[in-house]
Chain A
């Protein structure tokens, strides 16, 4: 059951309707919990038990952290939680990656070993719910939040259906208190949620799903296409993954908002970023801030000198890459962003030079164009490694694209180009820090009618009829 399916619309309508009739707050929370597990079970029944198991481990660790005063014992409890969560994640996601690499290493050393491979089903959303659950134990350990004494509330925090499959990775400090008192959406909140949900559906159905087959075609055989087509494919994928994932996040946030809950924003027009650092402040915000708060800063962040800062950045981004998938392509993608972030940090030392020239308007315009171009170039190259099936294909793609090869078929996709134009126009018209959906209920009635009519018309006339699962479900 995905957000863009007819079943989900029915499911969500039923949840809203039944919830509005429930008078007892405890019954309401039980109802939301059961609905969340039913939602997950529409994907996989056995994996629901995995969420239950990891949630209970973290719940009891949290209870322990709340009671125990001894710092060593508390640390031990935290380690239990981290090992349990990362252990589950590692087993399901990285076992075959580890075995494959071990086999390759042994073969390279001259040992002849039987290749091992286990057919392990990857539970959908595992990277998200384990990370979300860990925010609770870490924050409880740091005494930033009190331990939850309601197993039901904690289970609901981990499994709440709008965010269960692909985030946003909400912080325990933000979401858990929302289950403490009864919340109901006002008309304005409901409208903001609806507007965001509809906007997400347009991104997914009209842009991402429509350009996906064309992008797949180009990435399947990059050796067959010329440089222009390959550039188009890379830009198409940049658009596809953005619209797919930010569309999903919009729908998740919108669903929660319609019920009166608030999730953290996950995307804020990342392709408008003027630097790679700003890009990561706008792209998958819930994950990048997770890595910042629970890995980069504990490693020392930028407090231990420049060299250590670069190392911390690299390490954080390499692990961020690995989080996305068990493949060296993802690790390389993370490493590339790590290098770019470190380079940008080093460049910022030259700031006085830029500030001096920044007073001139002409320079500011040129500088903004150059900055955007450089940022997007790094992001685009990164996406090639992210999307390509393997290392060789990624290099072949990059090589043919950057040398602007003329040898190969030139395909001008009738889907990618209009989508690119639409997104560029949207980026030019909308301020990068504004939240259109949030502001919609404050606008005048004709504007609201035009907004909803446009979304309805886009979805019903240009939306793909068979929606593919969201890209980030595989992570």
Chain B
């Protein structure tokens, strides 16, 4: 009995020290571990009437400050990196009084196999199960979604769990900083979790060395297991979101482009056809929603307008913002 007790004490101590180290690592490397953030675009005096739902593709792709200024309306947004309609549907319930919704989607964040790191923190388990049952999601996807819930619990003790890419990238960046004394952009090869101001991003995907591009493609392919599917829980959530938003007021849905390299690598004609069919179905169910297709803009069909595989840079943002405002006017 004494030996068993000793073993339990040793394991508890190891868990305790491990937990402290895990928290320390998150703090030291600056990895984002909380999902909620809030952003207000436009003058502080303006009462927000518009809510923006989107991932970092939306924040990077359009200049919301400028849009707010032109429309003379404040825009509110909940910030969750890597988020998708599943999370937006829940976040939308936090702002019932707003009468206009702008929803920004892309083939990247509408892909059912790309899961938001904070999904379990935002979407209740019951809702996830309901959505998965409704759309008949496959066993593997269900498993991935459901496994996020126990992971969320374990993250209270070990916040680094499931964030190995962030840890590896962070350690590499810190090491490079220590060795060369400069912050190396080349080291940051994991999908973004930061929320930097995009109007300053001048980096061009077209300038990336081939090796860096290959590494990022591998990370991305691993992230969504090399698969695209648009007819699952995210679509169900988007339909619910649009339905609710239409009841509250005007809804604009913007389709953002992804880089030509991403298109070539992942978006086969079959995948694109499925994406278009999903959009057509959504539009059919929510006829009041105004659809703005920025992914059709020929000027954005250029790697020089992207800062990475899916995010627009400053040049792309300018083109996209101008086109968005022009198309919005026509409605």
Q: Which of A's residues lie within 8 Å of B, judged by CB?
A: 5-6, 186-188, 190-191, 194, 206, 210, 213-214, 216-217, 409-415, 441, 445, 448-449, 451-453, 456-457, 460-466
B172 within 8 A of A: yes
Q: Is the CB of A6 within 8 A of B168?
A: no
Measured between alpha carbons, how far is A452 from B12 in the docked complex, in Å?
A: 10
The contact sample of 12 A-B pairs, CB cut-off 8 A, is: A5-B147, A187-B4, A188-B3, A190-B4, A210-B164, A409-B214, A410-B211, A414-B172, A414-B189, A445-B10, A463-B161, A465-B163
B17 within 8 A of A: yes
15 further interface pairs, Cβ-Cβ under 8 Å (given A187-B7, A453-B17, A465-B161): A210-B164, A216-B218, A409-B210, A412-B211, A413-B215, A414-B189, A441-B7, A449-B10, A449-B17, A456-B18, A456-B158, A462-B164, A462-B167, A465-B163, A465-B164
B282 within 8 A of A: no
Chain A residue at smallest Cβ distance from B22 = A460
Q: Is the CB of A460 within 8 A of B17?
A: no
Q: Is the CB of A457 within 8 A of B172?
A: no
Given A411-B215, A412-B211, A461-B25, residue A452 in contact with residue B11 (CB < 8 A)? yes
Given A461-B25, A465-B164, residue A456 in contact with residue B215 (CB < 8 A)? no
Q: Is the CB of B21 within 8 A of A453?
A: yes
B94 CB to nearest A CB, Å: 28
Which of B76-84, B219-227, B266-274, B304-312 lines the interface with chain A?
B219-227
Chain B residue at smallest Cβ distance from A459 = B161
Q: Is the CB of A456 within 8 A of B15?
A: yes
Chain B residue at smallest Cβ distance from A415 = B168
Q: Is the CB of B162 within 8 A of A465?
A: yes
Task: List the 9 shortest-distance A-B pairs measured between CB atoms, nearest first.
Answer: A452-B14, A187-B3, A456-B18, A465-B162, A460-B158, A461-B160, A411-B211, A213-B222, A453-B14
Q: Is the CB of A452 within 8 A of B164?
A: no
Measured between alpha carbons, how far is A448 from B218 in the docked complex, in Å?
A: 37
Tell me how many residues of B have a C-beta within 8 Å of chain A: 39
Measured between alpha carbons, how far is A369 from B137 in the docked complex, in Å?
A: 54
B13 within 8 A of A: yes
B150 within 8 A of A: yes
Given A186-B3, A217-B214, A461-B167, residue A456 in contact with residue B160 (CB < 8 A)? no
> Which residue in B18, B160, B163, B221 is a CB contact (below 8 Å) of A453?
B18
Q: Is the CB of B168 within 8 A of A462?
A: yes
B194 within 8 A of A: no
B133 within 8 A of A: no
Q: Is the CB of A449 within 8 A of B158?
A: no
Q: Which of B114-158 contact A (CB under 8 A)?
A: 144, 147, 150-151, 154, 158
Q: Is the CB of B17 within 8 A of A213?
A: no
Q: Which of B's residues lie within 8 Å of A, judged by CB?
A: 3-4, 6-7, 10-11, 13-15, 17-18, 21-22, 25, 144, 147, 150-151, 154, 158, 160-164, 167-168, 172, 189, 210-211, 214-215, 217-219, 221-222, 225
Q: Is the CB of B147 within 8 A of A6?
A: yes
Q: Is the CB of A190 within 8 A of B161?
A: no
Q: Is the CB of A457 within 8 A of B22?
A: yes
Measured between alpha carbons, how far is A5 from B189 in the docked complex, in Å?
A: 27
Q: Is the CB of B211 within 8 A of A460?
A: no
For A190, list chain B residues within 8 Å (CB): 4, 7
A244 CB to nearest B CB, Å: 16
B112 CB to nearest A CB, Å: 14
A132 CB to nearest B CB, Å: 29
Q: Is the CB of A464 within 8 A of B164?
A: yes
For A6, list chain B residues within 8 Å (CB): 147, 150-151
For B17, list chain A residues within 8 Å (CB): 449, 453
Q: Is the CB of A213 within 8 A of B219?
A: yes
Measured between alpha carbons, how far is A2 from B215 in the docked complex, in Å?
A: 28
Chain B residue at smallest Cβ distance from A414 = B172
Measured between alpha carbons, how far is A323 from B119 in the docked complex, in Å?
A: 43
Measured between alpha carbons, how far is A124 from B214 in the docked complex, in Å?
A: 33
> Which residue in B6, B10, B168 is a CB contact (below 8 Å) of A414?
B168
For A5, list chain B residues within 8 Å (CB): 147
Q: Is the CB of A409 within 8 A of B222?
A: no
For A411, list chain B residues within 8 Å (CB): 211, 214-215
For B25, list chain A residues within 8 Å (CB): 461
Q: Is the CB of A463 within 8 A of B164?
A: yes
Given A409-B214, A462-B167, residue A449 in contact with residue B172 (CB < 8 A)? no
B260 CB to nearest A CB, Å: 19
Chain A residue at smallest Cβ distance from B190 = A414
Measured between alpha carbons, how far is A414 from B170 in the docked complex, in Å?
A: 12
Measured between alpha carbons, how far is A182 from B321 in the docked complex, in Å?
A: 73
A469 CB to nearest B CB, Å: 11
For A188, list chain B residues within 8 Å (CB): 3
A160 CB to nearest B CB, Å: 25
Measured between alpha carbons, how far is A448 from B161 in the docked complex, in Å?
A: 22
For A186, list chain B residues within 8 Å (CB): 3
Q: Is the CB of B13 within 8 A of A449?
A: yes
B23 CB to nearest A CB, Å: 11
For A457, list chain B residues within 8 Å (CB): 18, 21-22
> Which residue in A409, A412, A460 is a CB contact (below 8 Å) of B161?
A460
For B3, list chain A residues within 8 Å (CB): 186-188
Measured between alpha carbons, how far is A190 from B4 in the docked complex, in Å?
A: 9
A26 CB to nearest B CB, Å: 27
Measured between alpha carbons, how far is A449 from B6 in the docked complex, in Å?
A: 11
Chain A residue at smallest Cβ distance from B219 = A213
For B225, list chain A residues within 8 Å (CB): 466
Measured between alpha carbons, how far is A191 from B5 in the docked complex, in Å?
A: 12
Measured between alpha carbons, how far is A411 from B163 in the docked complex, in Å?
A: 23
For A415, list chain B residues within 8 Å (CB): 168
A415 CB to nearest B CB, Å: 7
Measured between alpha carbons, how far is A457 from B14 in the docked complex, in Å?
A: 9
For A217, list chain B residues within 8 Å (CB): 214, 217-218
Measured between alpha carbons, how far is A29 from B156 in the docked complex, in Å?
A: 38
Given A217-B214, A414-B172, residue A465 in contact with residue B10 (CB < 8 A)? no
A44 CB to nearest B CB, Å: 13
For A448, list chain B residues within 8 Å (CB): 10, 14
Q: Is the CB of B151 within 8 A of A465?
A: yes
Measured between alpha carbons, how far is A410 from B172 in the docked complex, in Å?
A: 19
> Which residue in A213, A452, A465 is a CB contact (below 8 Å) of B218?
A213
